[in-house]
Amino acid sequence: MASRRSSSEAVGSPTSADKVAETQKLPAKTTKTPKTAKGAQANGKPNGATTPKHGRSRLATALRTVTCGELTAANIGESVILTGWVGHRRDHGKLIFIDLRDRYGLTQVVIDPERSPESAEAHAIANEARLEYVLRVEGVVVRRLPGKENPALSTGEIEVEAQHIDILNPAKTTPFLIADHVTAEEATRLRYRYLDLRRDTMRKNIVLRHRAVKFIRDYMDERGFVEVETPILTKSTPEGARDYLVPSRTYPGEFYALPQAPQQFKQLLMVAGLDRYFQIARCFRDEDLRSDRQPEFTQLDVEMSFVDEQDVMGLIEGMLIDLIHATTTKRIKQIPFPHISYDEAMRSYGIDRPDMRFGMLLVELGDLARLGTFKVFHDAIDNGGMVKGIRAPGLASSTRKELDALTEFAKSLGAKGLVTLALTPEGPRSPLARFMSEDELRQIITKMGGETGDLILFVADSAKVCNDVLWRLRIKLAEQLKLIDPDEMSLCWVVDFPLLEEIEENGVTRYHATHNPFSGMQPGQEAMLESEPLKVIARQYDIVCNGYEIGGGSIRINKADLQRQIFRLLGLSEEQIDEQFGHMLEAFEYGAPPHGGIALGIDRLVMLLADGETIRDVTAFPKMQTGQDALMRAPSPVTEEQLRELSLAIRLPEKTEQTEQKKAGG
């Protein structure tokens, strides 16, 4: 008989599963069951099935009595039935070890052919099993041999001695290994997403998303909110991005639009007197993709009546604090969340979604940029721009190669270059020293808060270029200096946004709403819409976490005449206003209460909770960066018959190198 003690590998892989049973709160105890005669059926179950004497796992089914993540030393001696996938298989000749995996965890199964005739049959079947085969295993729970325990697994103290094995389904060799440290290209993983979702990290992300959404629903329900589903097929209105259009078969030439957000519907629900609304809403925007954006996404949509900014912000702040504590072990940097104005965010961080986990604030030199005779600084100021810098502690000793790399990084973002000032123990080292006196240079160092050992970097350009370059450089330097704590979440509110901005479109300058056209303005500023519209401050608020905008909202306009005035400022004609928003303006004439709300991006929020790199990491079936669905092969052509039913004809754009690259997924 083969000796179990001779095996040096009778331990499951610690990377294959974690303590899922604990997080799922599964019952750890099942009861010992008698073995049925070979070929018989127990309670109508498949051949060889056993039934616990005293109850079953709450996740028991017709094919299993327990899951792969719930057995512990307390179950030793019990007969159990497991189902799952072969995660790892080790053949020691007479002994075969299989790591059986399901959603709940991993259990090591040992097959010894000399235990009994039934075990010999099980061994023969285990010989056939390969990775990702679907198995049903019947056996007895035993303690692992001393020294063979695996503390990384919740089931690491035990293993199951197999008495009977069924292959429920074989599996082809997978296109990539089902493991956390996968090396396959993302396009391949998305093409076989159903395999990618078997990986522990992806499974945990999907379960975390479920728990986060459930927590949000319970939280809102406990505070008197009513969840209302709003239409998916709706009207196309100008709300910031392109609409996805759906042609109507019954009304040829007319189209529905998929909602970019339920904005108008939730305001109409306030007119209806619902008072407190929320929805886990699906939204659609036809815009260019990036790591934290998808053409279809999910948001927590909220609207409340008879409120001000603090009511909405207080609700969401409390929910986020409780959600983070309930679903992660992360620390929140500051409670209550700090409030920062839009102007201060742009001044000190270069962006309106600041990452406040670390310092290294940006500093504008102002009039000090005119000191000395440095033409680069002077030209920037004379052209209406600025000189802005950042202090990187401890990088004064950076090599020329390292400084050149930072300069190339800045140039790739639009800067003409970087001006460096290294504060070495021997004194300042900078091209500025040739154009400024020691006293002038000292004034600049003082303004930047420089100390010996620091490296100060300047960009001289327009305010837009300075901010665009320096906020990204700030993140890059913080990562290099390891200033970012991955276990910390820094949240803040950004407030006091301008209501309007000027944009250029087709050679024409016009006003554009910084958030959406429904935001109210600070009380008493209504008259400024006629005289100084760009100075009007909106009643808007964004919630930012670790440099990501995870939500935004406002106190709304609730009077038809003021809303119409905003639409006019945005360049809409009276005919366009009535056609696109007449239903809403009419509703406001029937007693619209003061109201406000917010929307939070579920995808981004869960990405941050899960430490994901992109929102694709926390979305079950996402689109690729190109907007294509690699699994379903969408978008795809439709038949001529379908087009005729919709009274449509296809007019393709002229082929260009860019469109061909997009088609090829480049």
| Per-residue model confidence (pLDDT) at position 453 | 96
| Per-residue model confidence (pLDDT) at position 626 | 87
Q: Are strands 134-143 and 79-92 parallel, antiparallel or unpaired?
A: antiparallel
For residues 335 and 327, is the Cβ–Cβ distance under 8 A?
Answer: no
Question: Could you count the other beta carbons within 10 Å of the beta carbon of residue 229?
Answer: 11
Q: How many helices (H) and strands (E) would you count in the chain? A: 18, 24
Residues of the chain with pLDDT under 70: 1-55, 240, 291-292, 656-666
| Per-residue model confidence (pLDDT) at position 287 | 86
Q: How far apart are CA 629 and CA 4, in angstroms?
A: 49
| Per-residue model confidence (pLDDT) at position 650 | 93
| Per-residue model confidence (pLDDT) at position 49 | 37
Question: Could you count the other beta carbons within 10 Å of the beta carbon of residue 433?
Answer: 15
As to burial, measured by CB atoms within 10 angstroms (0-12 exposed, 13-18 middle, 19+ buried), residue 627 is middle
As to burial, measured by CB atoms within 10 angstroms (0-12 exposed, 13-18 middle, 19+ buried), residue 484 is middle
What is the average pLDDT score of the chain? 90
| Per-residue model confidence (pLDDT) at position 488 | 97
Q: How far apart are CA 438 and CA 377, in angstroms?
A: 17
Q: What angle do CA 394, 399, 404 make, to 5 degrees?
A: 110
Quote the DSSP letter at residue 450.
Answer: -
Backbone Cα Rg of the chain:
31
Question: Which residues make beta-bridge pairs with 358?
Answer: none
| Per-residue model confidence (pLDDT) at position 118 | 86
| Per-residue model confidence (pLDDT) at position 663 | 55
Q: How far apart are CA 592 and CA 600, in angstroms?
A: 24
SS3 151: coil
| Per-residue model confidence (pLDDT) at position 661 | 58
For residues 372 and 439, is the Cβ–Cβ distance under 8 A?
Answer: no
CA neighbor of 176 nearest in space, from 146, 209, 132: 132
CA 663 to chain centre: 26
CA neighbor of 160 nearest in space, from 82, 101, 62: 82
Taking only the tens place, the pLDDT of each residue in 565-621 is: 999 999 999 999 999 999 999 999 999 999 999 999 999 999 999 999 999 999 999
Q: Are strands 158-169 and 105-111 parallel, antiparallel or unpaired?
A: parallel
